[in-house]
Chain A
Amino acid sequence: GNSVTQMEGPVTLSEEAFLTINCTYTATGYPSLFWYVQYPGEGLQLLLKATKADDKGSNKGFEATYRKETTSFHLEKGSVQVSDSAVYFCALLVSGGYNKLIFGAGTRLAVHP
């Protein structure tokens, strides 16, 4: 079946530290991959995406590369800010008669000054 596994949080970092949040997936075929972010009290927002192998998605200093050989889509940022504190969700898109987005459990990130 199709599933997404993320590293368990919370991840606690100091400001300007390097961030990695691991994500691996299981899927039939070649899904598109996404990272969504949920700030406190809000719904999810798309952060970045990649639609095929070796694509790199990037936005707001965050990056993730679609690695087919390791079925991974790890999220990275070189220097985190307090404002990056949120819950991050990895997701894959299953296409068929209609599209369906399957999410991981989410990883909470807390950045301290």
Chain B
Amino acid sequence: ETGVTQTPRHLVMGMTNKKSLKCEQHLGHNAMYWYKQSAKKPLELMFVYSLEERVENNSVPSRFSPECPNSSHLFLHLHTLQPEDSALYLCASSQEQGRNEKLFFGSGTQLSVL
């Protein structure tokens, strides 16, 4: 148990559906991240929130919409996804501390888009 909880663990959705991924951390961290993990590709950083403010958006399509209502919760809202969006979506948190920063990851949501 890393202190970062993601729900649901698995999600199957059609291209016209709207769904949300949820991430919760109980570690008192001040930064949260969404990563996309696809087979044989580097983990892709999608969004970074620092002190509840979005500080990075790596050219992610608008069909992915993040929300960070407070320092403990992070959401990823999904709508009109494509089959190539099928992947493992990982949430992480950290307490920014310079060169020693360590990320704590959740177990991920395995998303399948049909």
- What is the interface of chain A, defined by CB distance below 8 A to chain B? 4, 32, 36, 41-46, 49, 51-52, 89, 93, 95, 97-106
Contacts and interface: CB of A to CB of B under 8 A. Distances in A.
27 contacts: A4-B42, A32-B99, A32-B100, A32-B101, A43-B2, A43-B90, A43-B105, A43-B106, A44-B90, A44-B92, A44-B105, A46-B102, A46-B103, A93-B101, A95-B98, A97-B55, A99-B96, A99-B98, A100-B48, A101-B33, A101-B45, A102-B45, A103-B35, A103-B42, A104-B42, A105-B42, A106-B42
A4 B44 CA distance: 12
A4 B43 CA distance: 11
Contacts of A106: 42-43
Interface residues of B, number: 29
A10 to B, nearest CB: 11
A100 B108 CA distance: 19
Nearest to A5: B42
B72 interface: no
Contacts of B90: 43-44
A46 B104 CA distance: 8
B31 interface: yes
Contacts of A93: 99, 101
Contacts of B100: 32, 49, 51
